[in-house]
Amino acid sequence: MAALINARGFEINQRDCVGGTPLTWAALGGHEGVLKLLLEREDVDPNHPGLMDITPLGLAAFWGYEDVVKLLLEQEGVDPNCLDKGGMTPLVCAANQGNEGVVKLLLEQEGVNPNPPDKNGQTPLAYAAFKGHEVVVNLLLERENVDPNHPNKNDVTPLAHAAFKGHEGVVKLLLERENVDPNCLDKNDMTPLARAAVQGHEGVVKLLLERENVDPNSLDVNDITPLGQAANKRYEGVVKLLLEQENVDPNRPDKNGQTPLAYAAFKGHEGVVKLLLGRGNVDPNHPNKNDVTPLAHAAIQGHEGVVKLLLERENVDPNCLDKNGMTPLAHAAVQGHEGVVKLLLERENVDPNSLDVNDITPLGQAANKGYEGVVKLLLEQENVNPNRPDKGGQTPLAHAAFKGHERVVKLLLGREDVDPETTDVVDRTPLGWAAIEGHEGVVKLLLERKNVDPDRADGSGLTPLACAAANGRGGVVKLLLEREDIDPNPLDKKDRASQAWVTFAAHRAVAKLLLERGSVDPNRLDKNDLPPERASSKGPD
């Protein structure tokens, strides 16, 4: 080997096809003897970059070859601060890998820089803190000129790295330095405490809170506090630690007005909700930007346990309105959460007749969606108004009839005080809507009520029969024609008969049903003295 190295014409600094020199290959493999022979050559360049533009010292430091590092450092002219392509020095490489012995050797060099950041702004201390290399962190902190607050490109400091990863030992070492800033903000305005809270690292949170100058109410870019982060993630231990701080604000809202309690209620974190409600100064009615309270959040999501906990608070408002005029009961009804509806209705002061921005009641919402269980619970309330119309004049019965929810219609008609003849803004009854949509089961149920007028015309003069005929609802037409008191020849406001609408719409099957009724007049004239077949050819005006 010695003969080869000293052979005439041997280019000791020549790079091969992958960029490696003899010296870098020897350093990479940790071959101390070969390295020693190579270094005896007067023309060898110990700082010549090889593989990936890393020097022999950088490679040896990365892999933790202490003897090789020591040998290279004894060589005159070796630069302990040489940079690779990523801007990493041998000290950065060794710290990142946790190579304690190499770090110690490098720090003993007078000219070594203990704070050299790489291209991402990461220092040796930052790498060691992020990886949790406690011994390396301790070695670096023994150097007085080490900067414990050096931020990387994202303004993350070594303490923030260690807090985020949950390295308690490293956090403890860093906090022992008086010049460490425990409230440093990264680019998302998150402090080490916030980063530890969002990851649920109880031990780190505890260590940070023991520092007197730590701010437990710091706000990130979204104005979320550490308590808000922990509440959102269901980290009960962290929440408990933060709530033990006298100066913590449990009601601090974020940019959307969400408090820690709102986050926990929305996610259904019962344990966190219980902890927060245990603080006497927690506001259970704090609304967000859409005026949605924690109770409303829990009602929307169907979190019965959270709803129960909130309702146990006397100062909880069960009738709070959001920007759409919806109460927690309305939210639970529109989502079909029976358990939540039941819990809310057990509260004496809950209003079952609240109106949203469209004047729809909880009963109207449930009827529209076909939620039988919710409708049943609401109808059991003596003070519920089953006939309350919305802004379009639609009652709960009209909503259910229009959608074809037979079971809901049956439940509503079981209430004696339900009026099946209410009309909406177009003067159409529930029977009229059921006829238009072809809901035979609903039509049948409505016709069983003695107080239902089967010939009640809407604002256009169309009876349920006319509506059904015009829309080709043969089954409904058949049901209606079975009624002896049905007029098979009704005229609308333009004096058009049902048969004319049928002919125009080309519903031949329906036309046949009408003509089979002996009392149907196929030659009845309209106000223009036209029979159905000619009136229909003109089409509706």
CATH number of residue 380's parent domain: 1.25.40.20
Structural domain boundaries, residue 437: 422-541
Burial of 247 (0-12, 13-18, 19+ CB in 10 A): exposed
Rounded distance between C-alpha atoms, residue 141 and residue 126, angstroms:
11
Domain ends where: 351, 377, 411?
A: 351
pLDDT at 148 over 80: yes
Give domain status of residue 7, yes or no. Answer: no
Total structural domains within the chain = 3
Together in a domain, 313 and 365: no
Which residue from 104, 42, 35, 26 is spatially nearest to 71, judged by alpha carbons? 35
Contacts of 336-340 with CB under 8 Å at 24 or more apart are 336/366, 336/369, 336/371, 336/373, 336/374, 337/299, 337/302, 337/304, 337/374, 338/371, 338/373, 338/374, 338/377, 339/302, 339/304, 340/298, 340/299, 340/302, 340/303, 340/304, 340/307
Q: What mean pLDDT is predicted for residues 372-392?
A: 97
Domain ends where: 316, 335, 351?
A: 351
Give domain status of residue 337, yes or no. Answer: yes
What residue ranges in 50-183 does DSSP mark as E strands? none
Q: Provide the pLDDT for residue 3.
A: 47
Q: Provide the pLDDT for residue 113.
A: 93
Convert the pLDDT of each residue in 58-109 to its tens digit: 888 999 999 989 998 988 888 888 888 778 899 999 999 999 999 999 999 9
Together in a domain, 430 and 503: yes
Convert the pLDDT of each residue in 292-341 to its tens digit: 999 999 999 999 999 999 999 999 999 999 999 999 999 999 999 999 99
Residue 466 pLDDT grade (very low, low, confident, very high; cuts 50, 70, 90) = confident
Together in a domain, 414 and 512: no
Convert the pLDDT of each residue in 225-277 to its tens digit: 999 999 999 999 999 999 999 999 999 999 999 999 999 999 999 999 999 99
Give domain status of residue 287, yes or no. Answer: yes
Convert the pLDDT of each residue in 4-37 to its tens digit: 455 444 466 566 556 667 777 877 788 777 777 7
Q: Provide the pLDDT for residue 469.
A: 85
Rounded distance between C-alpha atoms, residue 116 and residue 83, angstroms:
10
* Mean pLDDT estimate for the chain: 88
Together in a domain, 442 and 529: yes
Q: Provide the pLDDT for residue 55.
A: 85
The type of residue at 124 is P
Stated pTM of the model? 0.85
pLDDT at 519 over 60: no
Least confident of 48-52, 199-203, 370-374: 48-52
